[in-house]
Structure 1
Amino acid sequence: MKSPPLLVAALVACVIVLGFNYWIASSRSVDLQGRIMDLEGKVRRAAAERGAVELKKNEFQGELEKQRQQIDKIQSLHNFQMENANRVHQEEKAVLISNITGNERLIQSLREHLKELQTEYGKLHLDVHWFQKNQTNLQRKFSYDLSQCINQMKELKEQCEERIDELTKKGSDVLQIKENKDFSEDSKKNSQVNIQLPAVKQTEFKQADLEEQKHNEDVPKAVPTVKKIDPLQAK
Structure 2
Amino acid sequence: MVGFGANRRGGRLPSFLFVALLAVIAVLAFNCWSASSRQALLREELAELQSQAKRTEVARGRLEKRNSDLLGKVDSHRKQLEQREADYSHLSSQLQARDGQVKKCEDGKVKLQNNISYQLADIHRLKEQLAELRQEFIRQEDQLHEYKKNNTYLARRLEYDSLQCGQQIKEMRLQHEENIKKLMDQIAQEQKATQKIQSNKDAEGHPNSDDQAASKTAVETEDKNAEKNEQPSDRVVNGKEKIKPGGDAGMPEIEDNDPAKAEDTPTAIKKPLISAPRSDGLQPVINLPTEQPHAPNLAPG
The TM-score range, normalised by the shorter chain, is: 0.5 to 0.7
Q: Confirm whether residue 227 of structure 1 aligns to residue 255 of structure 2.
A: no
Per-residue deviation, 1:81: 1.9
Q: Deviations over 1:43-88 (max 9, x none)?
A: 3423432442353244234313322321221221122122122112
How far does residue 144 in structure 1 lie from its aligned partner after superposition? 4.0
Unaligned regions of 5+ residues in structure 2, if any?
1-39, 237-242, 244-248, 255-261, 267-294, 296-301
1:165 to 181, 185, 209: 181
Residue 218 (structure 1) aligns with? 230
Structure scoring higher RCO (CA < 8 A, sep ≥ 6) equals 1
Label 1:46 to 1:185 Cα distance change in 2 as closer, same or farther (>3 A).
Answer: farther
Return 5+ residue gaps in structure 1 as ranges: 1-21
Name which of structure 1's ranges 178-187 and 104-113 shifts more when overlaid on structure 2: 178-187
In the alignment, is the contact (CA less than 8 A) between 1:160 and 1:218 conserved in 2? Answer: yes
AA at the equivalent of 1:226: G
* 1:209 counterpart SS class: helix
Q: 1:207 aligns with which of 204, 212, 219?
A: 219
Contact 2:183/2:226 (8 A) holds in 1: yes
**1:227 corresponds to which letter in structure 2?**
M
Name the structure with the higher helix share: 1
Please say if residues 146 and 226 of structure 1, whose CA atoms lie closer than 8 Å, have aligned partners that are also in contact: no
**How big is each residue's C-alpha offset from its partner over 1:14-66, in whole Å with a ceiling of 9 and x where there is no partner?**
xxxxxxxx8xxx89976984x54543442342343244235324423431332
**How much has 1:199 moved relative to structure 2?**
5.3
Confirm or deny: 8 A CA contact 1:163 1:217 kept in the other structure.
Answer: yes
TM-score (norm 1): 0.67
Shift of 1:197: 5.9
Show the 5 A alignment for 1:176-187: 176=192
Distance 1:181 1:36, change over 3 A: farther
Give yes or no for the alignment of 1:119 onto 2:135: yes
Q: How does 1:38-187 map to 2 (within 5 A)?
A: 38-176=54-192
Question: Between Structure 1 and Structure 2, whose CA radius of gyration is higher?
Answer: 2
Aligned mates of 1:65, 1:32 — CA distance in 2: 44
Distance in 2, Cα, partners of 1:132 & 1:165:
48
Q: Is the 8 A contact 1:156 1:221 kept in 2?
A: no
Q: RMSD between aligned alpha carbons?
A: 3.9
1:94 alignment partner, SS class? helix
Is residue 171–residue 210 contact of structure 1 (8 Å, CA) maintained in 2? yes
- What TM-score do you get using the length of structure 2 for normalisation? 0.54
Residue of structure 2 equivalent to 1:11:
none
Deviation string 1:108-151 (CA, Å, 9 cap, x unpaired) is: 11221122223333433444444445445444544443343233
Percent identity (aligned): 19
Letter in 2 for 1:228: P
User: For the residues of structure 2 that align with 1:179 and 1:66, how far apart are their CA atoms?
Assistant: 150
Q: How many residue pairs were aligned?
A: 210
Question: In structure 2, the residue corresponding to 1:72 is in which secondary structure?
Answer: helix
Letter in 1 for 2:108: E
